[in-house]
Structure 1
């Protein structure tokens, strides 16, 4: 069996195992709720809008690692399972571009423009969202091709990573902290509920956790899941 087939089988086996685990977890939760009140179901802690957006940036960062590794393999002409890269681009489209960025565009950007604060930054961030979607379209097109243009694919992956690393860093260190200064406490807390409701409506009750698990399976398929491999060997 060649390496590509082994990677794909590992990817699919991991997906099946996770699905089984989720079913077991769900069954246990239901059993606890119907055990005569003996078990108290723990409520999820409240998450602020900024924390919610920043942990979603964590998901984005892990997908950027998948993109980095994919580009490295393509450049060095190593085996590259295109289905894993296609899954990464699909997750970016669903979770980042159609959900996370839409929250920013609908609830953050207009408030900054109305307040007359960080208007130039907001304009650049919005244009980068649009550029990112075009790049994602290109990644999905190329990974769907049986004879993918590897040189072009590497260029697109590198462009995406190069843009989004400073993009998310600027949001985390400038935009999100400033957001607290242009809304009231009540408005800020209400937005936390809006974000949570949107997430549950689109991805289910455990949408964030399921998305993190999806990224982990991609990392495992590419051999980059073990965090220790990123530790440099010092003399």
Structure 2
């Protein structure tokens, strides 16, 4: 009888061990699935396609900033009488028109400025920004027209340099004020849901207007222009001190 009891106890312990093993295995498997799901969601949320509204607007400002550097260099060459491929100036101005004025600024004018104006916030700022958009478009058209001329006169070259300098002078503080005042205030003005929806609307508009990722296309184009002017190497801007 004692032997039977001992054998029964051993069987019970074995069964308990198997149950504990299966329980732990199930928990580990479930945990692995949960972690995998979290990881997948995290990767998706943090992927290249997940760009917030402000990040989208500010990286577009980065494209504008690079064109301002091109304008700065081109106007300097014109003033000093150095060689300059005016076709590259025309390409830069056309990129300003298509990507900055007809797309980026239209988003601001149609979706951002009206929200602030309706709420009675930063209205003095949006008023000035609208005026500067109009002035910028006039400068862009003049730069495009003068860059088309095969042999512009000295006066036309001077005017082109002045127009580019005026554009740079206006847009450096323009975009800086938007980046540091207007865009951050957008978070407080609208709900998170509206903010996220706005970003989705911007992405949809970008694909409709450019047939793909307009930002990537603009970066590729501005890179080509920089290389054509031999100013792509970032180290060129490092001071020799």
- Separation in structure 2 between the aligned mates of residue 189 and residue 86 of structure 1, nearest angstrom: 36
Who is 1:135 aligned against?
139
CA offset at residue 135 of structure 1?
A: 0.3
Who is 2:65 aligned against?
61
CA offset at residue 216 of structure 1?
A: 0.4
Q: Structure 1 or 2: larger helix share?
A: 2
CA offset at residue 134 of structure 1?
A: 0.3
Could you list the runs of 4 or more consecutive aligned residues of structure 1 that deviate by over 6 angstroms after TM superposition? none
- Separation in structure 1 between the aligned mates of residue 98 and residue 239 of structure 2, nearest angstrom: 34
What TM-score comes out, normalization by structure 2 length? 0.78
CA RMSD of aligned residues (A): 1.1
Residue 189, structure 1, aligned to residue 228, structure 2: no
Residues matched between the structures, number = 193
Higher relative contact order, chain-length normalized (CA < 8 Å, sep 6+): 1
Contact 2:99 2:214 in 1 (8 A): no
Who is 1:200 aligned against?
207
- Separation in structure 2 between the aligned mates of residue 210 and residue 95 of structure 1, nearest angstrom: 9
Contact 2:64 2:96 in 1 (8 A): yes
CA offset at residue 130 of structure 1?
A: 0.3
Who is 1:13 aligned against?
none
Who is 1:125 aligned against?
129
Q: Which runs of 5+ in 2 are unaligned?
A: 1-43
Q: Deviations 1:9-68 (Å, cap 9, x if unpaired)?
A: xxxxxxxxxxxxxxxxxxxxxxxxxxxxxxxxx864311111100000000000001101
- In structure 1, the residue corresponding to 2:189 is in which secondary structure? coil
Q: Which has the larger radius of gyration?
A: 2
What TM-score comes out, normalization by structure 1 length? 0.80
Who is 1:157 aligned against?
164
Who is 1:18 aligned against?
none
- In structure 2, the residue corresponding to 1:46 is in which secondary structure? coil
Who is 1:86 aligned against?
90
Q: Deviations 1:152-174 (Å, cap 9, x if unpaired)?
A: 11110100000000000000000
